[in-house]
Amino acid sequence: MRALALALLVAAPAYAQEAPPGASTCLGCHAPTRSDAAIPSLRGRDAAEVAAAMRAFREGTRPATLMDRLARGFTEEETQAIAAWIVR
């Protein structure tokens, strides 16, 4: 657990510096180094897939406990920018 916390502290500032508005919040659950977590990293996924998932959450067509509410806070353009940033 300490190693994960340290990895997040090291990785988050680099991501946050280049993040589009609102995107660094994603790292709270979708940290770039979490491969075995219940909420997976989105790093390496297709940006179009992530944007489509966000759109589905925003429209209420994909079930969620939290993402539906978070996704409603972003426009389609913001969603596209966040998706491109989070998958790199």
Give domain limits for the chain.
2-86
Residue 73: pLDDT band with limits 50, 70, 90: very high
For residue 87, which phi and psi values (nearest 5 degrees)?
-85, -10
Q: How far apart are CA 6 and CA 78, in angstroms?
A: 29
Token digits for 34? Answer: 């979490």
| CATH code, 2-86 | 1.10.760.10
50 has a pLDDT exceeding 80 = yes
Single pTM value for the model: 0.73
Q: Are 53 and 40 in contact (CB under 8 A)?
A: no
83 has a pLDDT exceeding 90 = yes
Q: What is the DSSP letter of 50?
A: H
Burial (CB count within 10 angstroms: exposed 0-12, middle 13-18, buried 19+), residue 45:
middle
Residue 15: pLDDT band with limits 50, 70, 90: very low
